[in-house]
Structure 1
């Protein structure tokens, strides 16, 4: 797809992103890419005051505008407050649109972007949505068919949008290193021997208590030592998260062949060095697994909105690329048994990795940007008629 007209000049983009880093970071990646394509491009983000999105956006060097928004409550008595908050947010966004005059509005989902999308539709500004999860969020499902384009990360998402919705399969915008990193080079980089059977566990920046407890239980019960007796080259690396990281790292510090870190900053190298990945199934994590071609044990976060982590994991499990374990069943005993089973079945691990790789979508950010530019050019052509 070659679209040049809109990019001959700097464009103006208003972005709505918030709630979690899974919504915010893809928006930052898209914004950064747009700036590399044309330094005159102007971008404004909208989100909640004193929020995670404000912190990440400001650190990334972008202008940030406050809006009011509230998630749709299950309690009817709270819906009046929801209507008032979001109506106020829509009015704020309409003023921002009037002042900034954007060429396009981009939302990466969550309730935080809803007032901006609604205001854009009222003002007849082109709107592009990006959906990270296999099961689209309520906001994107609500607005999808009214918008100019919806970029999806998994083919499985298409069925949740109305037939007339302009859905474009792009993938999640993730770092290109996940497509190029190799196991030998990654092991050399982090100082691991090539003969080690390496398990990497990650529970996100705050950690996953279930994963941490399973590893500590594995050690405390003596089952880890049993595994090491049978498989002396076994090694486990766990990113505990910052919430109880220091305490957990201290508890695991004496366990042989276990490397516990509060946070792993070079996630690509550590994941690429693994024979098996164990972790939550956020949209970006699943996309990284696919890019790497990594066999995975996925433990969906049970309290995620609409249980979307389960549906992300399902995409990989359905093609044999991953095994799903419910959070409640991820015990030290389960961890012991699944390690023992997979370490003895190298052929299955190779096939899981091959199937995972088949879901990898390189060039997602560029494809999203090209879709964005096409929407802008199509809008300009309509206005010229």
Structure 2
């Protein structure tokens, strides 16, 4: 059973995936003092009551919090009712909900070794990585090329900024196109996002020439990101937890441009962790432009040895078994709960 926020994205995604969804009226906590703080406090109070009701109704063997604000009332009330609890932290900088809960749960599962010191947990801690969808891991290059309508082609750079796109990244690609147009050893697969797509297409159409040697392919959105990763030799993107996990699980070298307004600057810390492992290069959002994009992409695309080293380091850093690792922990704790129940009987 999935518990999420009322009117959140999960209301579309979770039922479509075939899972039962319950919702809480929880709001996010404003980072600045304002009237919205009162709204948050009221929503938290209502959510705690609702969470207690859901625990009583479903009688779960274990409750797992994945770090969002909806997880806080559920995990807190589950613990108070004697139900085993687990939290998982996806980012290198723990979120506020997990920081609040870390002392209260039975087990803390982390994506990175580094964030153990940031959670003052007196309970068990295990490093599991970030779960990655099986479809992302299973995608094969030959089939992915067919799905995206591509041939074998040259070295492929995948550029994307999430489902909504990232204007800064999109404009860097458009602005550098003239520098790439004669590079026959390069293919750019550019996922601009649904909102940005028409604008990017108009700009590219104005500068695109029939004599261009670079292979440039523009998409508004790719439903199966595993296919996009499978055709790529290098990725240029933001540094969200899921993205970083998917890139490294597939062993894909990357150029990461952390979103500068992420809470606690966690995208930079995510990116720094991968860069330290030698699997990525970081460019700050402030410094990232068409010239920087052209410079770093050109240097890596034409340095097969460096790309190979980054690939090997990404493979070592990645945790493709993270989902199984986390699931095993949850089952283990649930089994202990069942055993205790049997002993009481």
State whether TM-score is above 0.5. Answer: yes
1:72 and 2:32 correspond: no
Per-residue CA deviation, residues 230-258 of structure 1 (Å, 9 max, x unaligned), is x3221111100011212322432463421
The 8 Å contact of residues 90 and 111 in structure 2, kept in 1 or not, is answered as yes
Alignment of 1:234-313 (within 5 A): 234-253=186-205, 255=208, 256=212, 257-313=215-271
RMSD of aligned residue pairs (Cα, Å): 2.1
Q: What residue in structure 1 maps to residue 313 of structure 2?
A: 355
The 8 Å contact of residues 249 and 261 in structure 1, kept in 2 or not, is answered as no
Q: What residue in structure 2 maps to residue 21 of structure 1?
A: none
The separation in 2 between residues aligned to 1:101 and 1:182, in whole angstroms, is 41
Q: What residue in structure 2 maps to residue 95 of structure 1?
A: 53
Q: 1:57 to 1:187 in 2, by over 3 A?
A: closer
Per-residue CA deviation, residues 211-238 of structure 1 (Å, 9 max, x unaligned), is 111111123xx3233xx2xx32211111
Per-residue CA deviation, residues 175-203 of structure 1 (Å, 9 max, x unaligned), is 33544555566446645444502111011
Other structure's SS at 1:246 match: helix
Number of aligned pairs? 336
Per-residue CA deviation, residues 6-35 of structure 1 (Å, 9 max, x unaligned), is xxxxxxxxxxxxxxxxxxxxxxxxxxxxxx
The separation in 2 between residues aligned to 1:179 and 1:80, in whole angstroms, is 43
Shift of 1:89: 0.7
Identify the match of residue 53 of structure 1 among 10, 24, 32. 10
Other structure's SS at 1:111 match: coil
Deviates more, 1:196-205 or 1:118-127: 118-127
The separation in 1 between residues aligned to 2:295 and 2:318, in whole angstroms, is 29
1:176 and 2:134 correspond: yes
The separation in 1 between residues aligned to 2:274 and 2:141, in whole angstroms, is 21
1:317 and 2:269 correspond: no
The 8 Å contact of residues 317 and 323 in structure 1, kept in 2 or not, is answered as yes
The 8 Å contact of residues 279 and 311 in structure 2, kept in 1 or not, is answered as yes
The separation in 1 between residues aligned to 2:78 and 2:307, in whole angstroms, is 47
The 8 Å contact of residues 47 and 112 in structure 1, kept in 2 or not, is answered as yes
Q: 1:207 to 1:338 in 2, by over 3 A?
A: same
Deviates more, 1:299-308 or 1:178-187: 178-187
1:224 and 2:180 correspond: yes
The separation in 1 between residues aligned to 2:140 and 2:308, in whole angstroms, is 14
Other structure's SS at 2:203 match: helix
Other structure's SS at 1:264 match: coil
The 8 Å contact of residues 63 and 85 in structure 2, kept in 1 or not, is answered as yes
Q: 1:179 to 1:95 in 2, by over 3 A?
A: closer
Other structure's SS at 1:145 match: coil
1:341 and 2:302 correspond: no
Shift of 1:87: 1.2
The 8 Å contact of residues 154 and 187 in structure 2, kept in 1 or not, is answered as yes
Q: 1:189 to 1:98 in 2, by over 3 A?
A: closer
The 8 Å contact of residues 137 and 226 in structure 2, kept in 1 or not, is answered as no
Deviates more, 1:143-152 or 1:160-169: 160-169
Per-residue CA deviation, residues 97-132 of structure 1 (Å, 9 max, x unaligned), is 112211111111111221111211221211111221
Structure 1: runs of 5 or more not aligned: 1-42
Q: What residue in structure 2 maps to residue 29 of structure 1?
A: none
Shift of 1:340: 2.2
The separation in 2 between residues aligned to 1:343 and 1:63, in whole angstroms, is 45
